[in-house]
Amino acid sequence: MIWNEEIETMDRGALVALQSERLSKLAAYVYERVPHYKQAFDEAGVSPAEIKSVDDVTKLPFTTKEQMRDSYPFKMFAVPMDQVIRTHASSGTTGKPTVVGYTRNDIDMWAECVARCFGMSGAKPGDIFQNAYGYGLFTGGLGMHYGAELMGLNTIPVSGGNTARQMLLLQDFQTNLMACTPSYALTLADALNGDGVDPADLPVRSFILGAEPWTEVMREEIEAKLHAHAVNIYGLSEILGPGVSNECIEAKDGMHLMEDHFLCEIIDPETGEPVAEGEVGELVITTLTKEAIPLIRYRTKDLCSINTEKCVCGRTHARMSRVLGRADDMLIIRGVNVFPSQIEATMLGMEELSPHYKLILTRKDRLDALEIQPEVSEDFFREVDGLDGLKNSPKAKALTQEITKMMRESLLVGATVTLIPPGSAPRSEGGKIKRLEDQRS
């Protein structure tokens, strides 16, 4: 279903006119209310009066996560604190957390965007929704929750982790839709299989998956194992939380952006200059309607592309591709740019391997070196007679050579490949999974 047909199928000319009107108002709003933006505008030599259409957005300065951290906790807020009804924050594992606030209107807008995402994912009022995103300062749980309730879904706020409980509720509550990370969907599929539960017997129609990059091959595996649609949702706490964009089940070919609320650009991450439509670059987002903490040209560091062609589902809002990686997660191995998602796409689908793996980055003789540790399947592990065979059997050696050759051909980089036994690669327990271990000193 299309939740908001008037907006989601709006003529693109009318949509761009709406964006232009809102951008013009936003420029004046932040200049008047946020000291950071008054200073940034003045330093860039731009006046809010100059911003009349979306074409003028490139005149405006970028905003970075570092600037948000420097404004900790509330210096980027555009409204008095007594108008803020909710505050979320990042974990702050690499410094001070980024803090975001929401007015009542912000919360209503967020719920509207997420309700649209549910419509794209095949939901309808009355469905039972199991929310396995974490509740708390992380935006995922509550963001999905309010949108689900707005649509009229029976919402189960189970939060992340506790796989045994998740499986129990899937079966006993007859869940129709579930939200979690893609890596956790695979964890859940393995657990159901281990308990002798056939997912085909469950009424789950769609898994709404986000919070970490994943590949098309991984989607195929999830859908085959769980017998349900697997659709991609995108968001980030600085901009909103989940609900910035979402795939439709009709196409599964890019995530529809909520363009009436967000103006999106793709730039070259090195130069900051716009790239042509369809080319991969860094996603930059301007929030057009947020009140508490509006952001101008926020650099997400997420690498993707944007397509403005009308979708087969009837929606006219532009679609962003999968996030291929992050500008700051890119590995440079002997001068070659490599993203973990490329490695995953190369290996997934091999019947000898499970969908789990580990990457180890080291430095030898002043050069970075990559070790890839694919986890083998239970069947392959039995075929080679366990650990000793995994290291020494001709079958294991042949598989290692095959993966090494594939990596060299697809990534144009040499890597050491070490097969590891089932269950030894990182697993998700509901949150984002960490597959890269950086051992460089």
Q: What mean pLDDT comes out for the span 347-374?
A: 84
- Which pLDDT score, from 0 to 100, does residue 163 have? 93
- Which pLDDT score, from 0 to 100, does residue 363 have? 75
β pairing state of 241-247 and 255-257: antiparallel
Q: Do 110 and 240 touch, CB atoms closer than 8 A?
A: yes
Residue 217: Cβ-neighbour burial (10 angstroms; 0-12, 13-18, 19+)? middle
Query: What pTM was computed for the model?
Result: 0.81
- Which pLDDT score, from 0 to 100, does residue 93 have? 44
Q: What mean pLDDT comes out for the span 389-409?
A: 92
DSSP structure class, residue 134: P
Q: Do 227 and 205 touch, CB atoms closer than 8 A?
A: no
Among the listed ranges 37-41, 228-232, 361-365, which one has the minimum average pLDDT value?
A: 361-365
Cα distances (Å, whole numbers) of residue 3 to 321, 346, 363:
22, 37, 51
Residues 106-121 have pLDDT tens digits of: 999 999 999 999 999 9
Average pLDDT, the chain: 92
- Hey, what domains does the chain have and what are their CATH numbers? 1-326 (3.40.50.12780), 331-438 (3.30.300.30)
CA–CA distance, 218 with 338 (Å, rounded to integer): 18
Question: Does 49 have pLDDT greater than 60?
Answer: yes
Among the listed ranges 158-162, 204-208, 272-276, which one has the minimum average pLDDT value?
A: 158-162
Residue 149 or 350, more confident? 149
- Which pLDDT score, from 0 to 100, does residue 248 have? 98
Residue 196 or 439, more confident? 196
- Which pLDDT score, from 0 to 100, does residue 94 have? 46
Within a 13 Å sphere around the CA of 85, how many CA atoms are in the beta-carbon half? 7
CA–CA distance, 395 with 389 (Å, rounded to integer): 8
Residues 285-310 have pLDDT tens digits of: 999 999 999 999 999 999 999 999 99
Among the listed ranges 148-157, 256-265, 331-340, which one has the minimum average pLDDT value?
A: 331-340
- Which pLDDT score, from 0 to 100, does residue 130 have? 98
User: 3-state class of 380 per DSSP?
Assistant: helix
First to last CA, the chain: 52
Percentage of the chain exceeding pLDDT 70: 95
- Which pLDDT score, from 0 to 100, does residue 147 have? 98
User: 3-state class of 1 per DSSP?
Assistant: coil
Residue whose C-alpha is closest to residue 60's, from 274, 303, 282, 243: 274
- Max mean pLDDT among 115-119, 216-220, 370-374 falls in 115-119
- Which pLDDT score, from 0 to 100, does residue 330 have? 67
Residues 65-107 have pLDDT tens digits of: 999 989 999 999 999 999 999 999 976 544 578 899 999 999 9
Question: Does 377 have pLDDT greater than 90?
Answer: yes
- Which pLDDT score, from 0 to 100, does residue 326 have? 78
